[in-house]
Chains A and B, each alone.
Chain A
């Protein structure tokens, strides 16, 4: 499904992986996290190769995936590195719950909280071990539009408090441009569509965060990226393009 992916990510960088459904962007993320393994090629973190599930990575999925029989704080606890001292662990969980604004909900069960709160708990869980690489698989995809915007701001706050390298898979172009230093667009080579998806293009997003969601420069890149995804921003041109392909 994926072929010829060659990507270097700087420490502390936020990279968004963008691509159409089924292009393998989640697979790429799962391979970085060690949940799947690539057929060929290597993945290295700080120069050492990744073997199996690497404890320097932490994942948050599209669904919160909290254990329903544990309270919010006990769910965050799962993310701690094995063998963490009890007291240190408890303090860390409390600190993270504060960071994602869940201090008052630490004793609630997952079914008692909203989707946005559950997703924040999942984010805290992923941060618990102080990961070098934070892998986010469409983490806000299942949230309503307003909650999603708030979560994006929260993620930026979290990143400035805990500057991990973040790889974010998304199909939301605006989200990618708002959050990322670089946007990697995955897609099949038009000349050889059977070979699998590769990196169609890489865009370095201009401007420092926090960015203006309505920035004109971002709007121009946005329509370029949308065209790259096969959805040109003008509908008329779009139908012509899809007929041609």
Chain B
């Protein structure tokens, strides 16, 4: 009979929290004739060091992360205002800011940002959902893998820009054509990571699912997908980056609105300050959406591992 008391002893041995460690180490040390006081002291020191290293507040980390961008800005300002590079090649940060304010005041900036973000989110959502479904089928079924994975691999090798003329011919120049291109971009990273990871799920755990009556979809949902959550999330991050990439491809070639259009339009009109505005906005939006996925990742990893 195992009594509840033995329970707690066992838990102490198995758990990894800091409070259980000194006890077991102490026992270990004293059984080998070391001074118990000495080992207790060194442990206290270790705990304090660990606390200093890890518990830096979030704002402090953000401050450290801001060092390099601020430095870049300073260097940019110095180089641009020194006259070494003429301003029609490298505008000053201030003039770029003024261009952004000017565009924004005339109501020309927000619509670009809005439509580009909408296209990316739609394409990313549909593309990664499709990637998850097709990746699951190809990853789980040996036959589906043998049949489809070479073909899908072939499509994957087609560069993003190569699709644009075909999509324009088929769909015309409209939202569908752009969202579809982004969907293609988002599909492949998710498809590749999901189908690859599903082949390597611990077969012991899958067998447990089967032994307790799970099969196909319910097995996928209770065992296989939760087991690959970390991989799926990194696939989603890649897919999001691809989505922004494919957005610019779509908007550069045929569009009348969006950040890609702003790039093209500024190039045609020689407005290098606006070009910089568009590039910086793409960087900020890309980083922002990636940070949102980062939050999702932290939540999922806390819940699933």
Residues of A in contact with B (beta carbons under 8 Å apart):
33, 35, 53, 55, 58-59, 61, 63, 65, 67-69, 78-79, 81-82, 101-102, 104-105, 108, 111-117, 120, 125, 129, 147, 150-151, 153-154, 157
Contacts and interface: CB of A to CB of B under 8 A. Distances in A.
Q: How big is chain B's contact interface, by range?
A: 20 to 34
A68 B228 CA distance: 12
Nearest to A57: B211
18 contacts: A35-B207, A53-B210, A63-B204, A65-B204, A67-B222, A67-B226, A69-B226, A69-B303, A82-B218, A101-B4, A108-B11, A112-B14, A114-B14, A116-B2, A117-B11, A151-B2, A153-B2, A154-B2
Contact of B212 (A111, A120, A125, A147): A125
Contacts of B14: 112-115, 117
Contacts of A108: 11
A242 B214 CA distance: 46
Interface in B238-281: none
Contacts of B2: 101, 116, 120, 150-151, 153-154
The 3 closest A-B pairs by CB, nearest first: A114-B14, A69-B304, A114-B10
Nearest to B215: A53
Contacts of A120: 2
B107 interface: no
Nearest to A78: B212
B208 A117 contact: no
Interface of B: 1-4, 6-8, 10-11, 13-16, 204-205, 207-214, 218, 222-223, 226-227, 229, 303-305
Contacts, number: 85
A154 B10 contact: no
A105 B15 CA distance: 11
A159 to B, nearest CB: 13
A55 B214 CA distance: 11
A147 B15 CA distance: 17
A104 B7 contact: yes
Nearest to A79: B212
Give chain B's interface secondary structure class. helix
B16 A58 contact: no
B204 A105 contact: no
Contacts of A112: 11, 14-16
Contact of A78 (B10, B204, B209): B209
B13 A114 contact: yes
A27 to B, nearest CB: 14
Contacts of B222: 67, 78
Contact of B205 (A67, A114, A153): A67
Nearest to A115: B14
Contacts of B208: 61, 65, 67, 78
Given A61-B207, A112-B15, 13 more contacts: A58-B212, A59-B211, A61-B204, A78-B222, A81-B213, A82-B218, A101-B2, A101-B3, A102-B7, A114-B10, A117-B14, A125-B212, A153-B1
B1 A150 contact: yes
B299 to A, nearest CB: 13
Nearest to B5: A101
Contacts of A79: 212
A151 B2 CA distance: 8
Contacts of A154: 1-2
A117 B211 contact: no
Nearest to A128: B212
A67 B223 contact: yes
B303 to A, nearest CB: 7
A34 to B, nearest CB: 8
Given A67-B226, A78-B222, A112-B15, A104 B212 contact: no
Residue from B10, B14, B211, B305 whose CB has the most chain A CB atoms within 10 Å: B211
Nearest to B222: A78
A83 B103 CA distance: 60
Contacts of A101: 2-4, 7
Contacts of B205: 65, 67
B11 A114 contact: yes
A63 B203 CA distance: 13
B88 to A, nearest CB: 57
Contacts of B303: 69
B273 to A, nearest CB: 50
Contacts of B210: 35, 53
B204 to A, nearest CB: 5
A157 B1 contact: yes
Nearest to A102: B7
Contacts of B7: 101-102, 104-105, 117
A41 to B, nearest CB: 21
A147 B222 CA distance: 31
Nearest to B304: A69
Contact of A104 (B4, B15, B207, B223): B4
Contacts of A115: 14
Contacts of B213: 53, 55, 81-82
A202 B139 CA distance: 46
A68 B10 contact: no
